[in-house]
Structure 1
């Protein structure tokens, strides 16, 4: 299991990117060729100094992640960026590049999806048999995962309580998936709209996205893992799926490595923006865990349903989602109904002294000009032609290659 860490002692960040053709912008399922070119022979994982690369379920998505836990968030943007530049250089001979944001705006998942065919493929094949992984929610999604450690049940209780109440606000900070198949979907965070129903065949896996209010390892097993194991049994006849892997809530508790993994963050336009988002979320969680804003007892009593209602509205409206639940707003020291953008501005003001100056440009852009989804739609204006969509997403690709924040 490796070393156990205390709250906020170290972090693990994962970023997912798509490979797209430089000229046509079509998804290009050659992650295996990229990994082979880097390594000399095919492997599913490459350690590249402080960052590791690995394949995902589909053959056009690459995951970059911290190579083990790190306590240095402020240099992470530069570390990830150096890997982005290296990968784009390796992909050049294939006329392929990395594409940021949480969904491809023109992809047809029925015709464009290829599952990973190499190591671990039996797990992916089983998933495909149960859920049909060709849908947008499987093959056209890219997220940022934040892994946060806990040492024991006492620390798990504090962290899980804080994470649960913050989850509904995440789309209001980082929604970046407003377009699918060339159309404005009407959701700022279409990735999460699919996430909710992705595994409808076995609803126990995702639940209400917000995890149940359980605060010990034992209670978590009884309430979440055991129903998942029971529900999957008829499908997983060879016992190859792990309950940690199957739990698909918006934050999953990994007792195998004593960490909670937050999964609701849409990936942004560049590592600078991604890490800034992660830093703000982490600083707000520290504030909640400290109980300086609200007691642990008060955080723990929130049930998943009212939290899900707030999250659900944010999936549609992003930072413009209006929160009218005054009890919820009081968790953060607010007394009247307001939108998510104002909640985040308020939270940023509470924690900004703890945030390194290198993150301020990206956060300022998000808090004043809106989520990346909003900025994408502003850039598109009313022209949803394929040419214009490609133009805007090409500009986003340039932001990734230069590690610059996107402003329309």
Structure 2
């Protein structure tokens, strides 16, 4: 049984990166080669001290994650960056490197996708059989996951209520996927636009992205897990899938480890940006959990449908979406219509005294210059030729290598 922690006592952060060929700029499905180089033999998970490495569904994505729960958020940018330097050094011999952002801007998923063929491959093969994982929503997605603990039902209730109401705002802070197959998609957060429907064959798995308004383990099992298990049964005849794994909402309760995992954060250009965003989200959640912003009973009243309608617009316009739902804005102490960007500025001002000053630079750039999607589009300057896209995204790869923010 995993050790149980109280609210905000520890954290788990996961960052996903794609591997690309340095010359062709195509995705490089060689994560197995990378992991073998590191360990001397192929392993799906590698313990590298404070940070662990692992494979993902597809053969060109590697996940870096805190090696177990950590109480030390402020040191993570440096720790992740140290591992990125090591990975890029190993990949250099393979003429490859890591590329940040939530989507490869030129990848053709039909021709470029290779599924992971090693550990857990039976799970991935079943997913591929049900959903056809050769699509942008499966094979061209990199995200940041934030894992937050709860001790019991009382703490789960507070944390789940707070997370549900903040989910619609997250793309307005971290959208980083504006280009697919060399085209502007019209969505600042194209990863999440695909996320909404990539499991449409079994809609019970993703639901409305926003989790249902349930606030106990028993209610969660009845409302969310039971329908998932029932829906998957005809497809999973060998019982190899597990409901914690199958639940694909934008935040999922992991009762097997007493944590909620937030999944709506697009990966940024460098760990400095990723961790700053995680810290801001966490500090705003503390304000909600402590009822500094709004009482718990008000937070619990919000339906998934209303929250999803706000999220849907933020997926499209990110920080520029103008929220007109005054009742929602009042949760955060705002009394008139506001852009998502201005709402985040307001929340940052409230949370800033609790945020380590090492995160100020990243948050100031994001909140003044816009989400990474906005900065990417500005840098491209309406020139969507492959050459210009490669040029801008090469700069993003340099930002990752140097742990520096991208400014256009």
* Superposition TM-score, scaled by structure 1 size: 1.00
Partner of 1:212: 212
Task: Give 3-state SS (helix, strand or coil) of 1:74's partner.
Answer: helix
Structure 1 runs not aligned, ≥5 long: none
- Looking at structure 1, the residues matched to 219 and 112 of structure 2 have their Cα atoms a distance apart, in angstroms, of 41
Task: Give 3-state SS (helix, strand or coil) of 1:122's partner.
Answer: helix
**Residue 344 of structure 2 corresponds to residue 344 of structure 1:** yes
- Looking at structure 1, the residues matched to 52 and 400 of structure 2 have their Cα atoms a distance apart, in angstroms, of 18
**Contact kept? 2:2, 2:256, Cα under 8 Å:** no
Structure 1 ranges of 4+ moved more than 3 A: none
Structure 2 runs not aligned, ≥5 long: none
Q: Offset of 1:120 from its aligned partner?
A: 0.4
- Looking at structure 1, the residues matched to 373 and 11 of structure 2 have their Cα atoms a distance apart, in angstroms, of 26
- Looking at structure 1, the residues matched to 133 and 347 of structure 2 have their Cα atoms a distance apart, in angstroms, of 37
Q: Offset of 1:292 from its aligned partner?
A: 1.1
Q: Offset of 1:293 from its aligned partner?
A: 1.0
Alignment of 1:350-361 (within 5 A): 350-361=350-361
Task: Give 3-state SS (helix, strand or coil) of 1:75's partner.
Answer: helix
Alignment of 1:8-407 (within 5 A): 8-407=8-407
Q: Offset of 1:188 from its aligned partner?
A: 0.1
> In the comparison of the two structures, how many residue pairs are matched?
408
- Looking at structure 2, the residues matched to 144 and 208 of structure 1 have their Cα atoms a distance apart, in angstroms, of 20
Residue by residue, what CA displacement relative to the aligned partner does 1:305-326 show, whole Å, maximum 9, x if unpaired?
0000000000000000110000
- Looking at structure 2, the residues matched to 395 and 186 of structure 1 have their Cα atoms a distance apart, in angstroms, of 23
Q: Offset of 1:345 from its aligned partner?
A: 0.1
Residue by residue, what CA displacement relative to the aligned partner does 1:22-52 show, whole Å, maximum 9, x if unpaired?
1111000000000000000000000101000
Q: Offset of 1:145 from its aligned partner?
A: 0.0
Residue by residue, what CA displacement relative to the aligned partner does 1:319-374 show, whole Å, maximum 9, x if unpaired?
00110000000000000001100000000000100101110111000000000000
Residue by residue, what CA displacement relative to the aligned partner does 1:151-174 show, whole Å, maximum 9, x if unpaired?
000000000000000000000000
Residue by residue, what CA displacement relative to the aligned partner does 1:224-270 show, whole Å, maximum 9, x if unpaired?
00000000000001000000000000000000000000000000000
RMSD: 0.3
- Looking at structure 1, the residues matched to 40 and 337 of structure 2 have their Cα atoms a distance apart, in angstroms, of 57
- Looking at structure 1, the residues matched to 207 and 405 of structure 2 have their Cα atoms a distance apart, in angstroms, of 34
